[in-house]
Every structure is written in structure tokens, then in C-alpha cells.
Amino acid sequence: MIQTTGPERALALGTRTRAGAYRLDLTTQRWWWSDDVYAIHGFAPHEVVPTTELLLAHKHPEDRDQSVAVLDEARRTGGSFATVHRIVDARGRERVVAVIGEGRGPSAAGPPSELVGYFMDVTDVVDDRAQAAATVSIAAAAQSRSVIDQAVGVVAFVEEVDPAAAFLVLRAASNDANVPIRVLARAIVGALPTLRHDPGRVRHFLDGLLAPAHRPAGAPTGT
């Protein structure tokens, strides 16, 4: 569970959310859920009687203890709160929900008489952000591999060897100089325009770049 500092952060998670209101009477321990809160938990409206036990039963096992702690603190202090955690709905689907709320009571000095707030299903928002992060990572890896592949092609052409052998040349140079293969690859590919793609110039450049005596020490070895 990720506890935030206020309701505004939960509300700022985006528009692709399903939100519903709730109210807990702390005197009677009775809950009231709007139709959307039932739906978030995988139920038809009024299909079940909402209780604290039912609510906690649907929390993801890894997030349940923290949910209990947040609820207990809200009961004691009546302060506003916001959490993001996982639930498993009545259909067995794992959902990510944001819960915001605050206590209301007869006196600011005493415990609240009720808790009121909103449940928001933010699963789609979280999935979108996770997918975007994964896409960025994949694109970065693909870009790095593309540069290495280009360098392998250059070495294969100039040294008149197959791509597998050319890669071994780059890897050996990487190990000798303690420089990542991608750094050598970028140097090779980046130099091609100034070398005018001339095989003789490229060969001379590679001889200097790949010769152990001319390679500076750099970052740790790796692709």
C-alpha cells in the first residue's frame, strides 16, 4: 500500500477512474456504499451487506495489514487520509483502488462519529503508466541494440568476417578496455559521417579504436 499525504493526490490520478462514495457510522459500524463502490468490488448494487469484515476480506493479502492500520488511525483521529492499494474483487480480479476520506464528529477534540469519502478504481491509470514505462525501457534497449548491431555490421564489413565474429571483436575490445560495448558501438557509428563511410578510413579508425594500447579506461564492462 502507498499512503499519500492528502486527497488531492488521489484525485489527481486521472480521469480514467470509476468513483463511488461511502460512509461508515462509527457508532453502529454500519457502512453505506454507492452503487459504484459495489461495482468496484465486483458486486451488483446491494447484492451484499457491506461490512468492515467484507471490505478487509477483499484487500490484497499483502496490503491488508496496512489497510487496517489506516482505518484504525482514521477512526481515532478523524483526520483526512488517502491510500492506494490492491483489492481482489468478487470475480477474482485484482484491482488497484484509491481511497480518500475524513472523519466527521461532534468535536474536533474527540474521535469522529463517522468516516466519509470515496473509492476510486484506478487500475486502468496504473496499467497505462506501467505500460508507458515499459515502452520507454523497451525503446531504450532497442535503441542500444540497434547501435550495437550497426557497429557489428561495420566491423563485419571492414574486417571481412561474419556478424558473430564481429561481435566477438567488439566484446573482446570491451573487456580489454573495461568499456561497455554500447560505448564502443556509439563511437564507431558516430564516426561514420566524418569518415565519409570510406572503407579505408573506417579500417584505420577501427584499428586505432580497437587496439588495446589506444582504448581509454571507462565505465564497467557490459552491453
* Nearest C-alpha neighbor of 25 from the set 125, 111, 126: 111
Contact yes or no for 125/200 (Cβ under 8 A) = no
Q: For 136-176, what is each residue's pLDDT tens digit?
A: 655 565 555 678 888 888 888 777 777 888 888 888 888 87
Rounded Cα distance, 55 and 17, in Å = 20
First to last CA, the chain: 35
Residues 6+ away with beta carbon under 8 Å from 11: 100, 120
When mean pLDDT is compared across 49-53, 123-127, 152-156, 184-188, the lowest value belongs to: 123-127
* pTM (global) more than 0.85: no
Binned at pLDDT 50, 70 and 90, residue 33 comes out as very high
Report d(CA 43, CA 33) in Å as an integer.
Answer: 11
Put residue 41 in one of left, alpha, beta given phi > 0 → left and psi -120 to 50 → alpha. Answer: alpha
Separation between Cα atoms, residue 99 and residue 1, nearest integer Å: 11
- What is the H or E stretch that residue 30 is in? strand 30-33
Predicted pLDDT at 132: 62
At 40 the pLDDT is 92
Query: In the block, which residue shows the cell 556509439?
Result: 186
